[in-house]
Structure 1
Amino acid sequence: MLLAAALLLLQTAPAPAAQTTACKATDASLPTALLGWVKPGDEFVPGKAVELDTIDAAALKGLPAGTKPGKAAMIGFKVETAGVYGVALDQGGWIDVLPGTEGGAALTSVKHGHGPECSTIRKIVRFDLKPGLYRLYVSGLPGAKVKAMLVSGE
């Protein structure tokens, strides 16, 4: 009896509202901190996106433990001012930031999130960084290229 009542309730329950956002133009209304997403640069610096070629993760030296299989990429960068920095990607993937130019353990992220609605930013992972040199490793990527951006501030 209870099972029949539960099935009846499930059949008559309204369907969840579809989450559709009408985007007039993709990447047209990015917040100030993300404006560089549409103006790629050559260096991985705050406020400029870069497009990186990917290779088979097994062939990329220095990948930290726990990276994901698939394609991967790496780029070095420098932080001048201490603060929370985000790494934005245009696709799903695993993001690791390591201090220095070789060796070391991946830093623990302090926040995870998605890009703004109506943007091509898939995810943003934030790290608390001090001045110095770092390496960004992204893995578990499906394609031959990945777009990435270093975002300063929350």
Structure 2
Amino acid sequence: MPFRAQPLRLVPVLAALLCTAPAAAQMDHAPARCTAPAGLPAPMASWRNPLALKAGADRKAAARAILTPGRTVTLALLPTPKVAYPVRPAKPGDSVSHGGLASFTVKEAGTWRVALGSGAWVDVISDGQAATSIAHGHGPDCTGIRKMVDYDLKPGRYTLQIAANGEDSLTLLVTRLP
């Protein structure tokens, strides 16, 4: 057999090896299987004991749906068509998604985090403008926190708007980072 034919025999073997390498690498980065809840950082300690709160459908109702910084809530949401967002969300969701509004007060300037139990869209609104987020991330494995968005906020009153949530409720926490 000519020498050139031998490398061709190796092609299927090399292809098989190359195809399995990414699969093995992906297994190393798979989400952790949780046998017990993981510990939470101090600013998120209330995550496992949420209070019930009903989201507002408009700005006026948002003023009555008050979030206490550092205190986790399970926010009862509304069908998206019933929510009058003060600022159009970048991802508003569709007619079968859920959203809502709430308010909170920042007493001390700094980095503030919104932690969510789902991948819903979140905006922090002040003076008719959405605040620019400064960081995005996933929550710690095995905590139930799916998404975290950080903002640099000054003292004042803010409206939190949730959009594009697949369920009619959402666990969330607004907290100041140390």
Same fold (TM over 0.5): yes
Which residue of 1 is the match for residue 131 of structure 2? 107
More displaced 10-residue stretch of structure 1: 63-72 or 44-53: 63-72
Return the index of the structure with the highest Cα Rg.
Answer: 2
| SS of structure 2 residue aligned to 1:16 | helix
Which residue of 2 is the match for residue 128 of structure 1? 152
| SS of structure 2 residue aligned to 1:116 | coil
Deviations 1:4-23 (A, max 9, x none): 97765342133324235343
- The within-5 A match list for 1:21-100 is 21-26=32-37, 28-41=38-51, 43-65=66-88, 66-69=90-93, 70-100=97-127
**TM-score normalised by the chain length of structure 1:** 0.85
Instruction: Please give the alpha-carbon distance, in whole angstroms, between the structure 2 residues aligned to 1:6 and 1:93.
Output: 46
Deviations 1:58-85 (A, max 9, x none): 2111342224212101101101000110
Which residue of 2 is the match for residue 16 of structure 1? 24
**Residue 153 of structure 1: how far off its partner (Å):** 0.8
Q: Which has the higher contact order (CA 8 A, sep 6+)?
A: 1
1:54·1:72 contact (CA, 8 Å) conserved in 2? yes
2:106·2:154 contact (CA, 8 Å) conserved in 1? yes
Instruction: Please give the alpha-carbon distance, in whole angstroms, between the structure 1 residues aligned to 2:34 and 2:101.
Output: 32
| SS of structure 2 residue aligned to 1:36 | helix
1:37·1:47 contact (CA, 8 Å) conserved in 2? no
User: For this pair of structures, how many residues does the alignment match?
Assistant: 150
- The question of 1:118 aligning with 2:167 is answered no
- The question of 1:148 aligning with 2:172 is answered yes
2:69·2:104 contact (CA, 8 Å) conserved in 1? no
Q: Which amino acid aligns with 2:73?
A: V
Give the fraction of aligned pairs with identical amino acids, expressed as a percent: 31
**TM-score normalised by the chain length of structure 2:** 0.74
From the two aligned structures, give the one with the greater helix fraction: 2
Instruction: Please give the alpha-carbon distance, in whole angstroms, between the structure 1 residues aligned to 2:108 and 2:10.
Output: 61
Deviations 1:100-120 (A, max 9, x none): 5xxx02111010001001110
